[in-house]
Chains A and B, each alone.
Chain A
């Protein structure tokens, strides 16, 4: 089942097509299931929306994070709808599509906000006027840097031809589109342009805020409660050590953007939600630079939090039922599964990770011999996905995994940070919001883990 065809899958081939592991759901998609009761009891969308709605003065800069495949994009789409319903003008952009994630600095983010506003607002509401004059000086300068021309007319013509930009759009947007091509291309020139822009940081930020303030005024006149920007995909910023500006502590692409350059990210005069890498939570300084607690999307609890680390795990029926519902919104379970117990087993083995659950169903379709998914096919699916995790478990990780499984918590130590990063360890919030963790059920099946764990 895809967007074109939202009827429930009633056969194996249809069920296979209905469970793509790479799809984020649009906000009003009927396949969406609210999982918040088993994700710490807090509805992430409500939580974020409330924080914004209840802040009439000043502008919040909020962080959203979670493990890959946990549904960040889906929740952001819903947040967008929720805020729109509440009367806000919401701009969403995806860093994966707009930036070069190998190399992002604050200048790229701020200018992308500006460009996205200039591009998206006239499409959504043609009555709102994009005031070029606020960005004229920066655009002049930027265009000059990009096309190396002094005369504005010449620059304009060259921006149009060089970057195949439409004639009708404002000059500053042409300059910004030219810059986007440089950013995406990752050319050497972009570094030079950035350095120059940083020297003009105050002017740039001032101009951008004049531009945003004007939009806010116009939006309010039209009845909107304000402007909100949602930036998705920034959590995928490639982590790399940076030599330049190293200094006393190690500087990485992550802490450069989100810690060192945080003041710039926070400077636009509107509410913004940024998605950030989960490893950033281990950064001591994050609470100082972003005082509002980052919102974390945990896994869906398929077990209850044990009172003691080594206590036998008890299945969380509500969580399993919710996960079954995720599948039920895509597939006619009675027609595709031989027995509902088989689906429940897949839910438990997914560890509450939605993407893996969909993958397990897909794999079970792949291994089914008849017209329905039977136990054998489900077991083969579990075994196949478990084998794929084998690639990610290094020998040196086993002892760490055993410790997590014994204590049911993830030590806040950088040495353990890669375990949730590769989904070897899954993190949960209990119904009262307590944090806990366990080894991914698919990893627990691996002989190299079992040998050490059972040997203890």
Chain B
């Protein structure tokens, strides 16, 4: 019986089985179990055990966009679970996935809790059978606080604690079987990963892993924290991401493991950029470089130079310094014969050339990057280069050339089915149409890219696109629409704490107001 559970967990399992045998009325039970794989296995075992006792079990799976029980239950639950059913069957309804709504953004979470709070009576009115809500402890802790009316009706909380060895096993399986590239996942997939990491992290805080080396357990925790940070970053939950990375940094420092440290400083640098904390961003990038040099990790040294180059270009507008960093990155790439690094360095140099108006140089760098990317089949990088080449063509007044490059980029992004690249190309098409004064088309492309970013749950990009839509509206005299779009953009930037972009959007909003007033004055003068 429930072989993955500890002795305490097994007793709770027995208790829950008994409670469900005794309950033939509506009631709310919570089954708390952190490791996601064991949660499913244990639920299956309970189901089998109940079915042996002639109790039917039906399961419902919720997620971050599918959680309104009152509309889901009538459609998905068999009639024998309802009051007044023709045949009285002792049944139980298992509900999974509540943690996904809870781990989602603040609005979704609020909506989910509000639904639970005020649907309580209605659920009891329609359902005859008890509910068992399966969830990890972090989710229960939040639910108890945020959905007090629903929580007030609970008939029992059962802590199905697993054996330590199974927690480790579950974690390893989760970390092994996972793609570490979160950007391309949908919002729901990201949230699912996030809640799994959060759930397991709870176990690592509470459990003693006897017989295991402390360093081994800490390293697993480090990986969990890092993954939780990465997926939070990909959801543009930058403050959360930073906290996860800082916690993993502490572990790396405790283990005095420079290989782990070097993994984390780069990420902290990046998240600081998005949070508008330029000083920390630069400091973390410099530390990253320092440790990579100590370790002789040349590839990381090269990418650190690349990052510092971008900081010099964007933060300080020190183009000479930026060029120096990019060239050092290029040199290392060449020394190592690492074509990926070389292509990246050329692309950075090309982009810098565009900013500086050095068109010939820029073209040469971008063409070289494109050529290498094609050789090694780095299709994502090909798209990046084509988009930069399109911008360059625009700057040079070569409209046909610009269109050709974008179309080429679009075809590749569709071929590789990379949603991030697809959205980036659409965004660039919007920007191009806007520069041509074709606002209708620009709006269309921006809206299409917005849909993809919404699917990906990338709040930073969503906010950026709203700002772009505001610009189009402002350009075409739709000041009210511009104001609405800027406000939406500002709201999201404020939510994710992107300080630089908050300031920028505020300026756009103020600018739009000023232009509106100027236009009104001009109209009066003309009249």
A residues contacting B by CB (< 8 A) are 2, 13, 16-17, 20-22, 68-69, 94, 96-97, 100-102, 233, 236, 238, 355, 359, 362-363, 365-367, 384, 388, 391-392, 421-422
Q: Which of A101, A366, A367 contacts B117 (CB 8 A)?
A: A101
Q: Which of B23, B118, B124 contacts A100 (CB 8 A)?
A: B118
> What is the 8 Å Cβ interface bit string for chain B, positions 341-382, against chain A (1 contact, 0 not)?
000000000000000000000000000000000000000000
Given contacts A367-B15, A391-B140, A391-B144, contact A68 B152 (CB under 8 A): yes
Chain A hits for B144, CB < 8 A: 388, 391-392
Most buried by A among B15, B24, B27, B155: B155
Contact yes or no, B122 A96, CB < 8 A? yes
B25 adjacent to chain A (CB < 8 Å):
yes
Chain B hits for A359, CB < 8 A: 154-155
Chain B hits for A17, CB < 8 A: 22-25
CA distance A355 to B28 in the complex (A): 14
B109-149 contacts to A (CB < 8 Å): 114, 117-118, 120-122, 124-125, 140-141, 144-145, 148-149
B48 adjacent to chain A (CB < 8 Å):
no
Contact yes or no, B27 A236, CB < 8 A? no
CA distance A20 to B121 in the complex (A): 14
B19 adjacent to chain A (CB < 8 Å):
yes
B157 adjacent to chain A (CB < 8 Å):
yes
Q: Other CB < 8 Å A-B pairs besides A21-B152, A100-B118, 11 of them?
A: A17-B25, A22-B155, A68-B148, A94-B121, A97-B122, A101-B117, A236-B118, A362-B156, A363-B156, A366-B156, A422-B145
> What is the 8 Å Cβ interface bit string for chain B, positions 421-445, against chain A (1 contact, 0 not)?
0000000000000000000000000
Given contacts A13-B22, A236-B149, A421-B148, contact A97 B15 (CB under 8 A): no
Q: Which of A21, A94, A102 contacts B114 (CB 8 A)?
A: A102
Given contacts A17-B22, A238-B114, A391-B145, contact A22 B122 (CB under 8 A): no
Q: Write the nearest CB–CB distance from B74 to chain A, whole angstroms.
A: 14
Given contacts A20-B25, A362-B155, A384-B157, contact A96 B145 (CB under 8 A): no
Contact yes or no, A16 B19, CB < 8 A? yes
Contact yes or no, B15 A366, CB < 8 A? yes
CA distance A238 to B118 in the complex (A): 8
Q: Write the nearest CB–CB distance from A253 to chain B, whole angstroms.
A: 11
CA distance A69 to B154 in the complex (A): 12
Cross-chain pairs A/B with CB under 8 angstroms, 5 sampled: A20-B25, A22-B124, A359-B154, A366-B15, A392-B144
Chain B hits for A362, CB < 8 A: 155-156
Contact yes or no, A20 B157, CB < 8 A? no
Q: Which of B18, B124, B148 contacts A366 (CB 8 A)?
A: B18
Chain A hits for B15, CB < 8 A: 366-367
Look across to chain A and name the residue whose beta carbon is closest to the beta carbon of B113: A238
Q: Which of B121, B148, B149, B157 contacts A97 (CB 8 A)?
A: B121
Q: Write the nearest CB–CB distance from A112 to chain B, whole angstroms.
A: 15
Chain A hits for B152, CB < 8 A: 21-22, 68-69, 355
Contact yes or no, A21 B22, CB < 8 A? no
Q: Which of B24, B118, B153, B157 contacts A22 (CB 8 A)?
A: B153
Given contacts A238-B117, A388-B144, A392-B144, contact A2 B25 (CB under 8 A): yes
Chain B hits for A422, CB < 8 A: 145, 148
CA distance A392 to B147 in the complex (A): 11
CA distance A233 to B15 in the complex (A): 33
Chain A hits for B141, CB < 8 A: 391
Look across to chain A and name the residue whose beta carbon is closest to the beta carbon of B110: A240
Chain A hits for B21, CB < 8 A: 13
CA distance A392 to B24 in the complex (A): 30
CA distance A365 to B155 in the complex (A): 12
Chain B hits for A365, CB < 8 A: 22
Chain A hits for B125, CB < 8 A: 97
Chain A hits for B157, CB < 8 A: 384, 388
Q: Which of B19, B22, B121, B145 contacts A233 (CB 8 A)?
A: B121
Most buried by A among B18, B121, B124: B121
CA distance A18 to B107 in the complex (A): 38
Chain A hits for B18, CB < 8 A: 13, 366
Chain B hits for A2, CB < 8 A: 25
Look across to chain A and name the residue whose beta carbon is closest to the beta carbon of B143: A391
Q: Which of A68, A96, A238, A384 contacts B121 (CB 8 A)?
A: A96
CA distance A422 to B145 in the complex (A): 8
Q: Write the nearest CB–CB distance from B50 to chain A, whole angstroms.
A: 15
CA distance A238 to B156 in the complex (A): 25
Chain A hits for B26, CB < 8 A: 22
Look across to chain A and name the residue whose beta carbon is closest to the beta carbon of B149: A236
> What is the 8 Å Cβ interface bit string for chain B, positions 137-179, against chain A (1 contact, 0 not)?
0001100110011001111110000000000000000000000
CA distance A20 to B26 in the complex (A): 9
Look across to chain B and name the residue whose beta carbon is closest to the beta carbon of A19: B155
CA distance A68 to B149 in the complex (A): 7
CA distance A94 to B117 in the complex (A): 14
CA distance A208 to B144 in the complex (A): 41
CA distance A3 to B22 in the complex (A): 16
Chain B hits for A363, CB < 8 A: 156
Chain B hits for A236, CB < 8 A: 117-118, 149
Contact yes or no, A96 B118, CB < 8 A? yes
Look across to chain B and name the residue whose beta carbon is closest to the beta carbon of A391: B144
CA distance A100 to B156 in the complex (A): 28
Q: Which of B19, B118, B122 contacts A102 (CB 8 A)?
A: B118
Per CB-CB distance, the 4 closest pairs between chain A and chain B, nearest first, are: A101-B118, A22-B153, A96-B121, A391-B144
Contact yes or no, B156 A22, CB < 8 A? no
CA distance A238 to B113 in the complex (A): 10
CA distance A363 to B21 in the complex (A): 15
> What is the 8 Å Cβ interface bit string for chain B, positions 1-37, against chain A (1 contact, 0 not)?
0000000000000010011011111111000000000
CA distance A352 to B406 in the complex (A): 71
Q: Write the nearest CB–CB distance from A140 to chain B, whole angstroms.
A: 31
CA distance A102 to B152 in the complex (A): 18
Look across to chain B and name the residue whose beta carbon is closest to the beta carbon of A16: B22
Q: Which of A22, A68, A101, A367 contacts B27 (CB 8 A)?
A: A22
Look across to chain A and name the residue whose beta carbon is closest to the beta carbon of B16: A366
Q: Which of B19, B27, B114, B120 contacts A96 (CB 8 A)?
A: B120
Look across to chain A and name the residue whose beta carbon is closest to the beta carbon of B19: A366
Q: Write the nearest CB–CB distance from A301 to chain B, whole angstroms.
A: 21
CA distance A102 to B114 in the complex (A): 7
Chain A hits for B22, CB < 8 A: 13, 16-17, 365
Q: Write the nearest CB–CB distance from A182 to chain B, whole angstroms.
A: 15
CA distance A64 to B154 in the complex (A): 24
CA distance A20 to B155 in the complex (A): 7
CA distance A388 to B118 in the complex (A): 22
Q: Write the nearest CB–CB distance from B301 to chain A, whole angstroms.
A: 43
Contact yes or no, B145 A392, CB < 8 A? yes
Q: Write the nearest CB–CB distance from A25 to chain B, whole angstroms.
A: 15
Chain B hits for A97, CB < 8 A: 121-122, 125
CA distance A94 to B119 in the complex (A): 12
CA distance A364 to B347 in the complex (A): 69
Chain B hits for A94, CB < 8 A: 121
Contact yes or no, A21 B148, CB < 8 A? no
Look across to chain A and name the residue whose beta carbon is closest to the beta carbon of B70: A184
CA distance A392 to B114 in the complex (A): 18
CA distance A199 to B152 in the complex (A): 40
Q: Write the nearest CB–CB distance from B224 to chain A, whole angstroms.
A: 22
CA distance A94 to B24 in the complex (A): 25
Q: Write the nearest CB–CB distance from A60 to chain B, whole angstroms.
A: 26
CA distance A359 to B153 in the complex (A): 9
CA distance A346 to B79 in the complex (A): 39
Chain B hits for A391, CB < 8 A: 140-141, 144-145
Look across to chain B and name the residue whose beta carbon is closest to the beta carbon of A4: B25
CA distance A94 to B122 in the complex (A): 10
